Amino acid sequence: MRGRLVDLTIGLNRKQRITVEVDRDYREDYERLKDAELDIEIKKHREKRSKSANAYLHVLVNKIAAERGGSDEAIKASLVVEYGALAKDADGLTVGFKLPASVDVSTIYPYVKCFDTRVENGKMFKCYLVYKQTHLMDSKEMARLIDGAIEVAKELGIETDTPEQLARYKEDWNKE
């Protein structure tokens, strides 16, 4: 839900009261929740990544996979790990995990980077950082990922203009 902070006051009990203005009718939710203990998180709004941005990423992934060889899934995973956003928990801490070194992590989750190998009680473990899936990225995170994919594509000599950009170029050429 989107909204804006309107006011902040501090009561005599030193507790702070925040007034929030929201963009939708909240009366039913208010009635249901008004006497309940709540978990509250207020953070700056970021637009979700657009479907066209996601489609463009997949076009680039497909072109890179065709040029390099390999599957689209493998190329996408390498791009997400190189240029994507680390996953964070509700407290803003980076998400990670460790597995026995004998486990193929790609069968569990595709967007991870090994950052350490440890031996515990004679057994070897690999420690991984977790990256967000693309559908969970906001517009800024997705833009960074697409910029990285464009950079890789250009290094491989791949055309990176969108169909809309190419249509505009053709329109301009026809005018000349």
Q: What is the mean pLDDT of the chain?
A: 88
pLDDT digits (tens, 9 = 90+) for 121-147: 999 999 999 999 999 998 889 989 999
Residue 100 in domain: yes
Residue 161 in domain: no
Domain count, the chain: 1
Cβ contact 120:99 at 8 Å: no
Q: Rounded to whole angstroms, how far apart are CA atoms 138 and 140?
A: 6
Q: Which amino acid is at 47?
A: E
Q: Which amino acid is at 154?
A: K
Name the one residue in this structure whose structure tokens are 């800024």: 140
Global pTM exceeds 0.75: no
Q: Which amino acid is at 135?
A: H
Domain of residue 100 covers 94-131
Residue 102 in domain: yes
Backbone φ, ψ for residue 82 (5° rounding) = -80, -40
Cβ contact 83:149 at 8 Å: yes
Q: Which residues, in sequence order, are bridge partners of residue 18? A: 8
Residue 32 in domain: no
Residue 121 in domain: yes
Residue 17 in domain: no
Residue 66 in domain: no
Query: Which tokens in the block code for residue 64?
Result: 């890179």
Q: Rounded to whole angstroms, how far apart are CA atoms 164 and 121?
A: 58
Give the CA angle between residues 65, 66, 72 to the nearest 5°.
35
pLDDT of residue 175: 61
pLDDT of residue 1: 81
Residue 162 in domain: no
pLDDT of residue 173: 57
Average pLDDT for residues 43-67, to the nearest whole number? 82
Query: Which tokens in the block code for residue 29?
Result: 């939710």
pLDDT digits (tens, 9 = 90+) for 109-125: 999 999 999 999 999 99
pLDDT of residue 76: 97
Per-residue burial over 47-74, b = 16 or more CB atoms within 10 Å of its CB, e = otherwise:
eebeeebeebbeebbebbbeeeeeeeee
Average pLDDT for residues 45-63, to the nearest whole number? 80
